[in-house]
Structure 1
Amino acid sequence: MPLSDSLLILSLALAAEAAFGYPHRLYTWIGHPVTWIGWLIKGLDRVSNRENWSFSWRRAAGILALLILVTVTGLAAWMLERFLLPLGTVGVGLLALLSSTLIAQRSLHEHVAAVSKGLREGGLGGGRSAVSMIVGRNPQSLDGAGVSRAAIESLAENFSDGIVAPAFWLALGGLAGAALYKATNTADSMIGHRTPRHEAFGWAAARFDDLVNLPASRLSALLIVSAAALNRDTSPRGAWQAVRRDASHHRSPNAGWPEAAMAGALGLRLAGPRIYGDVQVEDSWMGNGRAEATADDIERALALYRTACALLFALAAALTLLIWIIAR
């Protein structure tokens, strides 16, 4: 797909998803592309991840499963592109709507806003219940500040994984590029864990996800720094300093970049030691501000997030216009 077409489709997809999201009725009726990808991953895990196989054989099986996943997903998306693009304006519009299902601006905002609402209306219990929908850590181990930090961390990380990364690969590779990214990211979230069942089988998914998220995580940090310069009560200098000082010390090669930018912009400390299930995971702090985050800080983070999403749309639209002017 020509870059001019993919950038136009990206601009339309970002606008459509921000305005409408993914209708709940449609989800109830046919599910969601991520759930379809998830069904394939579950099937591959069930069939090819045998517990009686050696570590090496299970790692090889995981590599093969990932190749099958990206081939099936990429081929299906590429065929849709080949069918729809010749339809002109109608085809571009349909591709934009399909692409919008792979971006999660609206749903991420709603889930994080629900944590703030839960804390305000239901106290600690309400906050814990809402945050358990978006993080993997044990919510019962979190106090009010921990709930708020977890929500802000999830917002920052998923801004990269759920919005900027699919947008980046959509711009470079069209619908097929975004679908391939989404398949990889979903595989990492489902099987890319260091558990007895998935440490070997999910190795390829986890490593490949780290690779494909690398450019988006850096771009996400830049967008948050830029958004901090436009919002009230946020510090672009603090965001930039936190990225330079802390991002590379995060246990994830990518999550530290948007988390550090968010922490520095808001004057907070994010990440650090936390509990998943019954296991405490050690990690470096992102930012050097206060750790006592509140529901008000969640609202500040959401305002920063909305500005960063607007900047992403502006960047896509500006590049689309620039290519159109050059091509004339």
Structure 2
Amino acid sequence: MLLGHLLDLVVGDPRRGHPVAAFGRAAAAVERLLWRDHRGAGALYTAVCAGGATAAAAVLERAARRSPTARTTVTAAATWSVLGGSGLAREARTIAAALESGDVEAARARLPHLCGRDPRALDADGIARAVVESVAENTSDAVVGALVWGAAAGVPGLVGFRAVNTLDAMVGHRSPRHLRFGWASARLDDVAGRPGSRLTALLAVLAGPNPRGAVDAWRADAHRHPSPNAGVVEAAFAGALGVRLGGPLSYGGRVEHRPVLNASGRPVRAADIERAVRLSRRVGALALVLCAGAGALRERGAARRAARRKAPGRAR
């Protein structure tokens, strides 16, 4: 996991042939085959896509089990494939640079690379707010959540979490086509994302410039957000950074009125994007240390249990 995180920092995402993008294309093809305006069809779709990816990862991990080098390679490659911290920071900083140079149109054009917001009606501060919210949410989704599941379940945990998160991004929204079909993916993502989102918020409290503000915003506002996971991390980031997040937003012409998070904070400015990226990096680094340590302990315990099974007559 440490090696995979280092690869994400140094190499970043591949420009072509990214495994997550390949999974997305395969999931889109399965959707065309299975789509019905029904929750049952969506549940089958989720099981086929997320279950298939997780099972393939389990087979790969099992095949590499006997060789330490192969196991390290497989785990590092899976970690690198599912982490998105470098890409998140790069996109956020690109938009921040455009805003700071006064090129709002360039920032609007770039925003869809980071999140699904409709940028046409956003001014510079609105774009900055969208970026900070996306950095907060994706710190959990693209970094911490994956590491948590990697520590808990190895390569299948890494791949399975990323698959579920990708399906939620594809079909888990409230559009007419996906309101029923995407229900299972959205609910599964809520469940899978819960431990990572809580750890992200906790680490934002510890690593942020205003721990008390992060705790106060988390306690006061997180439960008011429609997402049980995004609300936690966005509120903690808002309090830690001393800014105000939430409020009206638009997805594909559909306007949502989100609750304000950390109402006592000031409006987001372009300079806050870099502050959010730095906080995201600190949170990711702390999560890596914790999760890699937990994963090592899990592996050690599994090795000891396997040794005991092989030597049943050994004196205790």
Give the TM-score normalised by the residue count of structure 1: 0.86
Q: Which of 7, 27, 31 pairs up with 1:45?
A: 31
Q: Which of 82, 85, 94 pairs up with 1:102?
A: 82
Q: Is 1:73 equivalent to 2:57 in the alignment?
A: no
In the TM superposition, residue 279 of structure 1 has moved relative to its aligned partner by 2.3
The aligned amino acid for 2:229 is N
Name structure 2 gaps, 5 residues minimum. Answer: 305-316
SS at match of 1:101: helix
The aligned amino acid for 2:83 is I
Return closer, same or farther for 1:62/1:318 CA change in 2, 3 Å cut-off. Answer: closer
SS at match of 2:10: helix
After superposition, residues 1-328 of structure 1 pair within 5 angstroms as 10-24=1-15, 27=16, 31-50=17-36, 55=37, 58-228=38-208, 234-319=209-294
Return closer, same or farther for 1:128/1:291 CA change in 2, 3 Å cut-off. Answer: farther
Determine the C-alpha separation between the residues in 1 that align with 2:87 and 2:296. Answer: 28
In the TM superposition, residue 245 of structure 1 has moved relative to its aligned partner by 0.8
Determine the C-alpha separation between the residues in 1 that align with 2:27 and 2:294. Answer: 35
Return closer, same or farther for 1:124/1:290 CA change in 2, 3 Å cut-off. Answer: farther
Determine the C-alpha separation between the residues in 1 that align with 2:51 and 2:280. Answer: 33
- Contact kept? 2:214, 2:236, Cα under 8 Å: yes
Return closer, same or farther for 1:316/1:214 CA change in 2, 3 Å cut-off. Answer: closer
Name structure 1 gaps, 5 residues minimum. Answer: 1-9, 229-233
Determine the C-alpha separation between the residues in 1 that align with 2:171 and 2:55. Answer: 22
Return closer, same or farther for 1:272/1:114 CA change in 2, 3 Å cut-off. Answer: same
The aligned amino acid for 1:225 is V
Determine the C-alpha separation between the residues in 1 that align with 2:300 and 2:39. Answer: 49
The aligned amino acid for 2:2 is S
Determine the C-alpha separation between the residues in 2 that align with 1:315 and 1:96. Answer: 17
- Contact kept? 2:239, 2:265, Cα under 8 Å: no
Total equivalences in the alignment: 303
Return closer, same or farther for 1:267/1:318 CA change in 2, 3 Å cut-off. Answer: same
CA offset digits 1:241-277 (Å, max 9, x no partner): 1111111110111101110111001111112221222
- Contact kept? 2:151, 2:292, Cα under 8 Å: no
Determine the C-alpha separation between the residues in 1 that align with 2:288 and 2:70. Answer: 21
- Contact kept? 1:85, 1:92, Cα under 8 Å: no
Determine the C-alpha separation between the residues in 2 that align with 1:182 and 1:98. Answer: 10
- Contact kept? 1:218, 1:258, Cα under 8 Å: yes
Return closer, same or farther for 1:321/1:86 CA change in 2, 3 Å cut-off. Answer: closer
The aligned amino acid for 2:10 is A
In the TM superposition, residue 90 of structure 1 has moved relative to its aligned partner by 4.0
SS at match of 2:255: strand
Q: Identify which range, 313-322 or 58-67, moves more after superposition.
A: 313-322
Q: Give the alignment's Cα RMSD to 1 decimal.
A: 2.0
Determine the C-alpha separation between the residues in 1 that align with 2:119 and 2:149. Answer: 33
- Contact kept? 2:203, 2:283, Cα under 8 Å: yes
SS at match of 1:288: coil
Return closer, same or farther for 1:161/1:308 CA change in 2, 3 Å cut-off. Answer: same
- Contact kept? 2:210, 2:240, Cα under 8 Å: yes
SS at match of 1:240: helix
Determine the C-alpha separation between the residues in 2 that align with 1:94 and 1:41. Answer: 23
In the TM superposition, residue 122 of structure 1 has moved relative to its aligned partner by 4.5
SS at match of 2:101: helix
In the TM superposition, residue 152 of structure 1 has moved relative to its aligned partner by 0.3
The aligned amino acid for 1:41 is A
In the TM superposition, residue 322 of structure 1 has moved relative to its aligned partner by 6.3
Match of 1:4 in 2: none
Match of 2:314 in 1: none
Determine the C-alpha separation between the residues in 2 that align with 1:237 and 1:49. Answer: 47
